Amino acid sequence: MSETLLQETDARAGAAIAEGPDWLEAVRRAAAERFAQTGFPGSRDEEWRFTPIGPIAQGVWRAAPTASAGVTREQLAPFTFGHPEWNTLVFVNGLYSEALSTASALPAGVVVSSLAEALRSDGALLERHLTRHAPAEGSPFTAVNTASFREGGVVHVPANVDLDQPVHLLFVSTAAAGGSVTHPRNLIVVERGARASVIESYVTLAPGQSYWSNPVTEVSAGAGSWLEHTRIQRESEAAYHVGLTHVDQQRDSHYRSFSMAMGAALARHNLHVRLNDENVETLMYGLYLTRGEQVADNHTAIFHDHPNCRSWEVYKGVLDDRSRAVFNGKVFVTPEAQKTDAKQTNRNLLLSDSAKVNTKPQLEIFADDVKCTHGATVGRLDSAALFYARSRGVPAAAAERLLTYAFAAEVIDEVALPPVREELDRLVLERLETGV
């Protein structure tokens, strides 16, 4: 039960704190204490009502194995977008593997490194940002992560630097991960006027393994910065994945997120974006493809604290078999945040009669001069379009695939970076055509 986890947490936090600076040690101890008090969310916790976390809370999770278990670069090829030359930090069962990672040339001052390395060489940066954006009080899962993290990726793009290539943080689980938990902790800092694209992938080499990933990613987008952040979750379909992305945006910044969820028995992703100044633009796109008994849960929250900001959100889901999706989209607009333009859309396509969706927009608007809209739909394939395609010679099954793909492609089209867009496209087509 949660006590078992806590003992594990204590043990590992102790070990890591021995390596970490004092300020971090204090934060981690506080997080461990906090989790000791709260435990996992209960069934009455509104935030977790539709998320069956029982198997996580009741599981006994061991620390992930430390050896990288003979993983080869060839095995990682399917996950590198056809661009093995991109800067890639590879983590095997939560631990950084320098041998599998790729470090290509970067503009002066850019940091792409493992968290452990960054703690040694970029102490001041980490003290300013690490754990500062996503506080442990936010959720018990964040508290456990904060108390327990050992590794993760750090990306720092200094002011006015344009990263012309994406940086990829690739988390791979292997058969050795069975029954274990990892708590990756990532930090992305894009300073004033800088431009970057970061991809975060959670993938598996052992499709049947059950394990638990509990990542937290903190993002700081400086004034006038531009950041595309793509998150691809393709865990084992027997695994549990609970992740948080917290973003802080400054004046005139543009942040666009794409969150793709295909894997895990239970996948929960929280995306929180706080707009800390005026004239910020935030685009949040999501796509979940579920089948079998999978549960995909997306909770997003956008905090419009300042005037003249725009947020645009589209999450789409394709659900087959007896799978289930949860969408909760919160939009908070403070009284100061006049001229806010916020639009939220959640659209779901059911491919089977037994699939289910719980979708809930949650708008709390305290300013009067705003444009805020939301819409949610749950539907089936358009039978008129199906017949139209069939009447042109396209067989029924292919017509269904075509329309399903079209539904998903509409949101994938919003990804700015062509190779990322093409890869997401390929993933969807592969799932539809071969069931992979």
Partner 1 sequence: MLNIKDLRASAGGVEILKGINLAVRPGEVHAIMGPNGSGKSTLAQVLAGHPAYEVTGGSVTYLEQDLLDMEPEERAQAGVFLAFQYPVEIPGVSNAYFLRAAYNEIRKARGMEEVDSMDFIDLLEEKLKLVEWESEIMSRAVNAGFSGGEKKRNEILQLAVLEPKLAILDETDSGLDIDALRIVAAGVNKLRSQDRSFIVVTHYQRLLNYIVPDHVHVLSSGRIVRSGGKELALELEARGYEWVEAAEAMA
**Interface with partner 1 by CB under 8 A: which residues?**
382-385, 387-396, 398-399, 402-403, 405-407, 409-410
Residue (155 or 428) nearer to partner 1, CB? 428
Residue 256 near residue 227, CB atoms below 8 Å: yes
Nearer to partner 1, 164 or 410 (CB): 410
Tokens read off for 403: 């329309």
Q: Which is nearer to partner 1, 149 or 407 (CB)?
A: 407
Q: Work out how close the CB of 316 gets to partner 1 at its nearest, in angstroms, rounded to a whole number.
A: 11
Kindly tell me which of 77 and 406 has the beta carbon lying closer to partner 1: 406
Residue 41, token pair as written in the block? 């969310």
Pick the closer one to partner 1 by CB: 20 or 286: 286
Degrees to nearest 5, angle at CA 183 with 210 and 172: 55
The answer to whether 327 touches 358, Cβ cutoff 8 Å, is yes
Nearer residue to partner 1 within complex by CB, 99 or 385: 385
CB count, 10 Å around CB of 287? 28
CB of 327 to partner 1, least distance (A): 20
Nearer to partner 1, 11 or 385 (CB): 385
8 A C-beta contact, residue 142 and residue 38: no
Work out how close the CB of 374 gets to partner 1 at its nearest, in angstroms, rounded to a whole number: 20
**Least distance CB 411 / partner 1 (angstroms):** 9
Q: Residue 225 in 3-state DSSP?
A: coil
Among the listed residues 307, 258, 252, the one whose alpha carbon sits nearest the alpha carbon of residue 283: 258
Question: Coil, helix or strand for 418?
Answer: helix
Nearer to partner 1, 192 or 390 (CB): 390
The distance of closest approach from Cβ of residue 429 to partner 1 in the complex, given in angstroms and rounded to an integer, is 12
Helix (H, G, I), strand (E, B) or coil at 318: strand
Nearest distance from residue 405's CB to partner 1, in Å?
8
Helix (H) or strand (E) holding 61: none
Question: Which residues fall within 8 angstroms of residue 183, CB to CB, at 6 or more apart?
Answer: 94, 144, 145, 148, 149, 150, 214, 215, 216
Amino acid identity of 295? V
C-beta atoms surrounding 106 within 10 Å: 16
Task: Give me the least distance between CB of 393 and partner 1, in Å please.
Answer: 4
Closest CB to partner 1 among residues 98, 410: 410
How far is it between the farthest Cα atoms of the chain? 70
Neighbours of 206 (CB within 10 A): 18
Q: What is the DSSP string of 234-266?
A: E--TT-EEEEEEEEEE-TT-EEEEEEEE---SE
Read off the tokens for 307: 């005037």
Measured from the CB of residue 78, what is the shortest distance to partner 1 in angstroms?
25
5, two tokens: 């986890």
Give, as one character, the DSSP assignment of residue 86. Answer: S
When the beta carbons of 365 and 394 are compared against partner 1, the nearer one is 394
| Shortest Å, Cβ 49 to partner 1 | 33
Outline where DSSP puts E strands in 82-132.
87-92, 95-102, 111-114
Nearest distance in Å: CB 283, partner 1:
19
Instruction: Give the residue with the Cβ less far from partner 1, 36 or 402.
Output: 402
Shortest separation between residue 413's beta carbon and partner 1, angstroms: 8
Q: 8: helix, coil or strand?
A: helix
Q: Specify whether the CB–CB gap between 406 and 376 falls below 8 A.
A: no
